[in-house]
Structure 1
Amino acid sequence: MHHLPAVIVDHFGDGQRWGVRITYSHEPELLGTAGAVKRVAHLFPEPFFVLYGDNYLRCDLVALAGLHERAGAVASLALFGLPDVSRSGVAEVAPDGRILRFVEKPRPGETESRLVNAGAYVLSPEALDWVPAGGPADFGRDVFPAMVAGGARLYGFVMPEGGVEGADSPELYRRLTAAAGGTGAPWRARGARDG
């Protein structure tokens, strides 16, 4: 947590009222997607999921975990097709699902792949050995390309069309919650404010 962590803790507490246990990690300085997970690596002695909170996924997580186990992967990534990949990182995937390379913001003709990162992963604990210690790092930009270049076993799980939608703005969040049967009204924790 970085922005207004006390508001989050005040609202969710220890998670008991939802039947879960919540452990918080406060980041005074942002650590990036991979740096944040590395910071709490001690919590993950077995393969675990990483799910980005600003995406709405229709992903079969059981199938993603099954691929990870069957392939003996260090990291397994949910991928989805995107017509225009010029502003995205693209994964090139072999017929058996192994990720061969990543191409960041490809130029026309640089790759035939249209598969991009959906922000859902299964990682084995040793995947975190690839995350640099003590500073910010991003899975998609820094860690996964280094893993592939270093020979680590990364696999891609292709989601069905329409399998991911961004929810990274208040308007997108309201639209998605309304489409899922919610009110579409903004949620606001006690003490939260605009800006």
Structure 2
Amino acid sequence: MKAEDLTCFIPVGGMAKRLRPLTYDISKPCVRFMNRALIEFPILALASQGVRNFILGEQGYTNYTNLFDQFGDGTGFSAKYGINPRIHIMHQPNVDDLGSADSYRINVEYYNIEGPVIVVQGDNIFDINLEDLIKWHEKKGALMTIALFRTKNVEEYGVAAVDDDMRIKKFVEKPAPEKAPSNLINAGIYLLAPEVRKLVGCDEVKKILDERKRLDFGYDLIPYLVDKGFPIY
């Protein structure tokens, strides 16, 4: 697997109320930082390493219109930053999703994505070596590889407990500090094997979606996969 084989999925939902007044009339990923929209940073970080196909999983009118106006199909963005061959940006169809993992499900089915997918967040600025991430993922035979880092304050993040092989044995989204299984938190970067597409459509996951009216990566899908014993690293 190479970076060129990946499709990047970026979920963009919510109203970003904590960033108001900055987000009263603009999508959070379009808030400017260092004269760039926040979402440009993760796209550039991946495009510079060979990723060429991106899906923006927009929820709601403001998110969709802001991001479509900002990027279109990626032609102008590629020209602006000298990306050659150009990147291709796709947008979520006019279907309401019930969380980030549900948005992933909708989009991989709509665009018939059969290969591996890397999921990143539209408001994260990061520096990650994709070649190293892919090698680790393949070496472990992982269904999903999650980027983690250590921090003292864990209550605002998903928290993972790992074994000596770095396999995730427990995952809890935004636990109370005294209930956190470790200080390893979810960085919001996931490398997904193609098989995840089938799993999000299975009967058990559909039942979770029906009962909770939500299918989020952190709250729902990752804990389910870990509890079922799938190789999550």
TM score, norm. by length of structure 1: 0.70
The residue that corresponds to 2:187 in the other structure is 118
Name the CA distance, whole Å, in 2 between partners of 1:45 and 1:141. 25
> Gapped runs of 5+ residues in structure 1?
156-195
Percent identity over paired residues: 35
Structure 2 counterpart of 1:137, one-letter code: L
Is 1:33 aligned to residue 100 of structure 2? yes
Kept after mapping to 1: 8 A contact 2:154/2:180: no
Work out which of the residue numbers 199, 203, 218 in structure 2 matches 1:130: 199
TM score, norm. by length of structure 2: 0.59
Structure 2 counterpart of 1:37, one-letter code: Y
The residue that corresponds to 1:89 in the other structure is 158
- Higher-RCO chain (CA-CA 8 Å, sequence separation at least 6): 1
Is 1:151 aligned to residue 151 of structure 2? no
Name the CA distance, whole Å, in 1 between partners of 2:68 and 2:153. 39
Aligned-pair distance for 1:41?
1.7
Structure with higher helix content? 2
| Two-structure CA RMSD over aligned residues (Å) | 2.2
Kept after mapping to 1: 8 A contact 2:159/2:181: no
Structure 2 counterpart of 1:99, one-letter code: I
The residue that corresponds to 2:125 in the other structure is 56
Aligned-pair distance for 1:20?
1.6
Deviations 1:133-177 (A, max 9, x none): 57641111100100011111100xxxxxxxxxxxxxxxxxxxxxx
Work out which of the residue numbers 122, 145, 152 in structure 2 matches 1:76: 145
Question: SS in structure 2 opposite 1:62?
Answer: helix
Kept after mapping to 2: 8 A contact 1:93/1:99: yes
Structure 2 counterpart of 1:146, one-letter code: Y
CA 1:143–1:67 in 2, change beyond 3 Å: closer, same or farther?
same
CA 1:53–1:10 in 2, change beyond 3 Å: closer, same or farther?
closer
What count of residue pairs does the alignment treat as equivalent?
Answer: 155
Kept after mapping to 2: 8 A contact 1:41/1:125: no
Kept after mapping to 2: 8 A contact 1:130/1:143: no
The residue that corresponds to 1:24 in the other structure is 91
Kept after mapping to 1: 8 A contact 2:75/2:88: yes
Query: Where in structure 2 are the equivalents of 1:171-182 lying within 5 Å?
Result: none
Kept after mapping to 2: 8 A contact 1:130/1:147: no
Aligned-pair distance for 1:108?
5.3
Is 1:15 aligned to residue 15 of structure 2? no
CA 1:76–1:27 in 2, change beyond 3 Å: closer, same or farther?
farther
Name the CA distance, whole Å, in 1 between partners of 2:184 and 2:197. 24
CA 1:27–1:55 in 2, change beyond 3 Å: closer, same or farther?
farther
Name the CA distance, whole Å, in 2 between partners of 1:71 and 1:26. 34
